């Protein structure tokens, strides 16, 4: 499928974006390529961070190999739970993940669960791994969100005035490019983490800053989206984002206070 897109506020387009291409009879989706690219770059960058924390690249690779399937499964479960009305009468559709329907918060939760279990079994400090993982998660999210652009999905409500407004010519609508907002915000958080790292006071703090920073941006971006998962009258991702921000701030404050008292 080809999507015709323009950014009229920036004077760009319209231009055509293909969702996939054929390679020796196989249909290859660009979204999948971007996800794979994100994983590879996340691993390569995180490896450098791991070496500084006395974590081997093999250990990090194990974490990723266990984390990926766990992330996919939990991302699907998360989506299905909050879209139950779409699946309750067709339970087999739950397994048709190739038709779409995953959630990033579910993926992060799944990756954290598998990583925590792995670290407990291998007797590795899970907080140290989580700190390293924060950088990798952000890289994956920064790149992966552009898959939404290629598929012309996960966009926001219609607008005629936003500078970065995106025109979906095929659908005859002009919308907020929420994929772009979130990708750019994640880039800012990524840069901030790299700067903040030298001021880290306790293990796990980098991950908590990631959770807080990402949650803060996601709360506002989610408010613009038209495909949100709902929990009654509220958007579930805004609820989770709000919890992440509040919890993150509290734990960072308590952690730094404890670190300071230990020094004294």
pLDDT for the residue 73: 96
**Mean pLDDT estimate for the chain:** 94
pLDDT tens sequence across 175-194: 999 999 999 999 999 999 99
Please tell me the distance from the alpha carbon of residue 11 to that of residue 125, in angstroms, as a whole number.
Answer: 50
Per-residue CA distances from 5 to 13, 167, 172, 174, 176 (Å): 7, 6, 10, 10, 13
pLDDT tens sequence across 20-65: 988 888 888 999 999 999 999 999 999 999 999 999 999 999 999 9
pLDDT beyond 80 at 264: no
Q: What is the mean pLDDT of residues 190-200?
A: 97
The answer to whether 133 touches 203, Cβ cutoff 8 Å, is no
Instruction: Show me where the domains of the chain are located.
Output: 2-150+161-263
User: Three-state SS for 231?
Assistant: strand
Other Cβ atoms within 10 Å of 33 Cβ, number: 14
User: Three-state SS for 200?
Assistant: coil
């Amino acid at each position: 499928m080809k999507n015709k897109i323009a950014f009229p506020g920036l004077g760009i387009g319209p231009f055509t974006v293909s969702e996939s291409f054929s390679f020796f009879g196989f249909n290859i989706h660009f979204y999948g390529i971007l996800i794979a690219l994100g994983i590879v770059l996340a691993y390569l960058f995180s490896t450098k961070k791991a070496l500084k924390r006395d974590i081997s690249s093999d250990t990090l690779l194990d974490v990723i190999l266990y984390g990926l399937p766990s992330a996919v499964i939990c991302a699907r479960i998360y989506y299905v739970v909050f879209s139950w009305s779409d699946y309750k009468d067709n339970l087999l559709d739950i397994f048709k993940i190739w038709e779409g329907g995953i959630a990033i918060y579910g993926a992060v939760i799944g990756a954290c669960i598998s990583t925590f279990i792995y670290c407990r079994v291998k007797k590795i400090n899970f907080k140290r791994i989580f700190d390293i993982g924060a950088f990798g998660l952000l890289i994956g999210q920064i790149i992966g969100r552009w898959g939404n652009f290629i598929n012309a999905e996960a966009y926001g409500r219609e607008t005629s005035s936003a500078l970065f407004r995106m025109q979906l010519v095929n659908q005859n609508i002009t919308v907020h490019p929420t994929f772009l907002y979130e990708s750019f915000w994640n880039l800012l958080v990524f840069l901030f983490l790299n700067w903040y790292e030298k001021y880290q006071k306790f293990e796990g703090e980098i991950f908590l800053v990631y959770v807080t920073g990402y949650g803060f941006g996601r709360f506002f971006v989610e408010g613009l989206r038209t495909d949100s998962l709902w929990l009654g009258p509220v958007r579930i991702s805004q609820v989770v984002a709000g919890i992440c921000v509040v919890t993150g701030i509290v734990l960072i404050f308590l952690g730094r206070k404890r670190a300071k008292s230990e020094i004294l």
